[in-house]
A and B are shown apart, each in its own frame.
Chain A
Amino acid sequence: MKDNHITDIIDNTPFVDLSDSELQTIHAHTATCVDCERAFAAASIASLLIKERTSEAAQYTLNANPFFETRVLAAWREQQAAPGDWSFRRLWSATGAIVASMAATTAALAVLTFVAPADNATNQQIAAVVPYSAETVVLDQDQNDNQLTNDQVINAIYADDDEGK
């Protein structure tokens, strides 16, 4: 039966970093367990493969242009050397949203201040010209008009009856 403890050891640590005590434990176990012996061999080969691939990739790295970093840094300094354009862009990117919202608020306030009062004045002029317009009825209600009182209405209705008697 396979002992998972051995595979846990070899999966937990890079193969080349296995300590002497871990290697002793592994060898003691693999002497009697064929499956774990194969697992240990596979781990050893996997480690070898990864190492070989890394060393080959390092060859490409060594062949890279040695002036790459110098050129990148030079390009970066060049960008920083144009202060006007750079600072305006940075400023705009930092404050663009708030400046735009402030402009929109100012425009809205201007509309409310200058356009809305003009509309009220127009309504009042219409009310003055048309005597029985809706505005006149609502706005120019006269509390002292010539409405009849209740007594006068009753007298007017029953006056004929009284005369008949």
Chain B
Amino acid sequence: MKSFAGLGSMEGWLTRIATNTCLNILRAAKRRPELVTSDLSDNETEWLERVSDSSRAQPLDAEQKVIAADLAERLLESLPAEDRLALTMIDGEGASVHEVAEVTGWSESKVKVRAFRARKKAREALEKLLGRTGH
């Protein structure tokens, strides 16, 4: 509270503190190895088969949403903390590169690079999973 000068918005101030705190926690936590097929439950394997088959594409029901969120969490855990943050904010929350740069204090170039790397790693991890589930 002492560091809040009361000049900017409280939302921005709290967001920056929360972002940096979470980043520090994620950096300190040991990163899990890449997600492999043997890590997937039957439900997750079935979910992947279902969504990768465009002919069976349907809106997700509540149970499938939970499976997707859990799978996403594990996919994100395999990424470095900074890549994860950039991907979640830009692709998940729809934030612009400029907004992420403001919240994190990074340059816009760094945000773009982090997001690019994160997308690539996430895509490659899913490609491996899809290859092993028969698609």
Contacts and interface: CB of A to CB of B under 8 A. Distances in A.
A96 interface: no
B113 to A, nearest CB: 11
Contacts of B28: none
Mostly helix, strand, loop or mixed at chain A's interface? helix
B69 A56 contact: yes
Interface string A25-64: 0000000000000110111011111111111100000000
Mostly helix, strand, loop or mixed at chain B's interface? helix
A42 B10 contact: no
Interface string A4-39: 000100111011100000000000000000000011
Looking at chain A, what size class is its interface with the partner chain?
Answer: 20 to 34
A42 B123 contact: yes
A76 interface: yes
Contacts of A41: 52, 130, 135
Given A11-B116, A46-B75, A52-B65, A39 B90 contact: no
Contacts of B48: 45
Given A15-B91, A50-B91, A52-B65, A10 B60 contact: no
A72 interface: yes
Looking at chain B, what size class is its interface with the partner chain?
Answer: 35 or more
Contacts of A52: 60, 65, 68-69, 72
A87 interface: no
Interface in A59-77: 69, 72-73, 75-76
B51 interface: yes
B114 to A, nearest CB: 12
A53 B72 contact: yes
A79 interface: yes
Nearest to A37: B135
Nearest to B128: A42
Interface of A: 7, 10-12, 14-16, 38-39, 41-43, 45-56, 69, 72-73, 75-76, 79-80
